[in-house]
Structure 1
């Protein structure tokens, strides 16, 4: 009897990619700038776990002797533990390699299914379909409660909502998360690190996460797209 490999608790970057997945079309929202956004999620996860800190001139550095336990996050920590880097530099360095391993984890968890297809009866390809776990719906409900219903978020949900806003894809969620001025205002507050009293995270973690999110905003809206 064979057993499935054990998977640790989902990382923030997995949650974000799962949210960006659009079940109706089988596509990922914001593909053109996706690597910036996924890189930002990894940095935010490191910050929330206190594996990342800021140094002079707003650069970030891996906290010496405190690597993250998850293999998906460790390469970024190793890169940043070598020497402090600017956030934009870090996003460009760690982001491009993330899509495939993160998607593979979501498939392994059953959050997303891969369906083999043939195009024109000749070419083999793969379509993405919604998985069986309903985890995407739960994540979306958590974000909606914060952005629409005014709920005080936990730190992880606050960071997830802030990154979703930073990605520029929130208008595509209009059916589930109404695209209103109140929603936009709350999303921008979260981007700035205004998470509320219930978001139990150290001040330095909030500061680093806000810096990362703002760098993602700049990357998505200003820098050339791949």
Structure 2
């Protein structure tokens, strides 16, 4: 495994509380992580949306291109998409369900998280995921804050992370979060609305929690 992190890994690092390892937006996390894999594949040029008319559950997602993908996680997502065309919202759970464990395993393996077990009341075991080597996460936060607070230009991966944070409704729950303001909210929404994967996440999250 190389040192390149997936968008889903970067997103999860930001969502996790650095002390407890509890994620913001836990109830809809699988949709958010599924959206991150879709965006990853889109940036790699391996998926596109099809169909002339918008569908109730979002546009169809089609697998395109050939040749090996560099990482097994987007490779499995690509294979699922290649089985048959599906609407984007139905794909979020299909490729995002069950990602929590393998993603946290990868982050622990890289040293970006630590896995600790504690005994509560002498009976119950509780596993936490505090931050490990925090340099990568610190750089992620610096980039996100520079874009949202100062209006700096965003590279495609940072733009995708911001879009998904906005779409999942977790941006105000980050610890620490960007300095909150109307401008920060609007900048984040602009990234969300420009990304079909993030827009699908937003639709599903809103439907789930209302």
> Above 0.5 in TM-score?
yes
- Does residue 1:80 correspond to 2:69, yes or no? no
Matches within 5 A, 1:114-133: 114-133=115-134
| 8 A contact 2:20–2:128 mirrored in 1 | no
- Worse-superposed segment, 145-154 or 60-69: 60-69
Contact kept in structure 1, 2:108 and 2:114, CA below 8 Å: yes
Are the aligned partners of 2:21 and 2:128 in contact in 1 as well (CA < 8 Å)? yes
- 1:144 — aligned with what? 145
Q: Contact conserved, 1:50 with 1:63, CA < 8 A, in 2?
A: yes
Superposed displacement of residue 224, structure 1: 5.6
Provide the secondary structure at the position in 1 that maps to 2:86: coil
Cα distance in 2, alignment partners of residues 19 and 175 from structure 1: 9
| Contact 2:112/2:131 (8 A) holds in 1 | yes
The residue aligned with 1:54 is 49
Structure 1 match to 2:197: 212
RMSD: 1.7
Q: Unpaired runs of 5+ in structure 2?
A: 54-58
Shift of 1:174: 7.2
Cα deviation for residue 8 of structure 1 reads 4.7
Match of 1:200 in 2: none
Which secondary structure does the structure 1 equivalent of 2:140 belong to?
helix
Judging changes above 3 Å, is the alpha-carbon distance between structure 1 residues 96 and 64 closer, same or farther for their aligned structure 2 residues? same
Name stretches of at least 5 consecutive residues in structure 1 with no aligned partner.
1-5, 194-209
Deviation per residue, 1:85-129 (Å, 9 max, x gap): 100110021111111100111111111111121122233331221
User: Scaled by the length of structure 1, what TM-score is found?
Assistant: 0.85
Q: TM-score, normalised by structure 2?
A: 0.91
Report the Cα distance in structure 2 between the residues aligned to 1:128 and 1:173, rounded to whole angstroms. Answer: 16
| Contact kept in structure 2, 1:12 and 1:156, CA below 8 Å | yes
Does residue 221 (structure 1) correspond to residue 206 (structure 2)? The answer is yes
Deviations 1:119-164 (A, max 9, x none): 2223333122111242111111110111111001011111111111
The whole-number CA distance in structure 2 between the counterparts of 1:154 and 1:183 is 17
- In structure 2, C-alpha distance between the alignment counterparts of 1:136 and 1:115, rounded to whole Å: 19
Runs of 4+ in 1 over 2 A off after TM superposition: 122-125, 173-176
Q: Tell me, in whole angstroms, the C-alpha distance in 1 between the residues paired with 2:8 and 2:140.
A: 13
Partner of 2:154: 153
Does structure 2 retain, via aligned residues, the 8 Å contact 1:51–1:68?
Answer: no
